[in-house]
């Protein structure tokens, strides 16, 4: 398995896996550190991050945000991303955990 690939896999607590661009996922400081080869975590070898505290619904939204952020990196008037009210608290915890 290659140490560096363009895509990484994020696996939620209920077993859903999301394959996202590495550069997009790395805006999260936590994921960046997990995947940093120099730090030698298991995730950096397998390019797979497993989140035991984030379920599929929330992780899907997080991945959506990664691409939202990628898209609006340098644009001036950024429209707000739609966040469903019922996921608010869980997403807040996830965002806090992932540092995004």
CB of 72 to other proteins, least distance (A): 4
CB of 63 to other proteins, least distance (A): 11
Alpha-carbon distance of 45 to 62, in angstroms, equals 23
Residue 96 corresponds to which tokens in the numbers above?
A: 């806090």
- Measured between alpha carbons, how far is 92 from 100 in angstroms, rounded to an integer? 10
32: buried, middle or exposed (CB in 10 Å: 19+, 13-18, 0-12)? middle
- Give the Cα-Cα-Cα angle 86, 24, 71 (nearest 5 degrees): 80
- The size of the interface with other proteins (CB under 8 A), counted in residues, is 27
Residue 11, token pair as written in the block: 């696996």
Q: Compare residues 1 and 85 and give the one whose CB is closer to other proteins.
A: 85
We find the least distance from the C-beta atom of residue 97 to other proteins, in angstroms, to be: 8
Here's the x/- map for other proteins, 33-72, by CB under 8 A: it reads as: -----------------------------x--x--xx--x
Chain residues that interact with other proteins, rule: CB under 8 A: 26-27, 62, 65, 68-69, 72-76, 78, 80-81, 83-85, 88-89, 91-93, 95-96, 98-100
């Amino acid at each position: 398995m290659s140490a560096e690939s363009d895509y990484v896999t994020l696996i939620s607590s209920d077993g859903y896996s999301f394959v996202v661009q590495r550069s997009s996922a790395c805006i999260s400081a936590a994921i960046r550190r997990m995947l940093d080869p120099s730090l030698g975590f298991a995730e950096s070898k397998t390019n797979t991050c497993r989140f035991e505290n984030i379920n599929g619904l929330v992780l899907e939204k997080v991945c959506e945000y990664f691409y939202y952020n990628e898209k609006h990196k340098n644009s001036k008037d950024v429209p707000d991303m739609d966040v469903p009210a019922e996921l608010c608290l869980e997403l807040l915890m996830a965002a806090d955990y992932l540092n995004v």
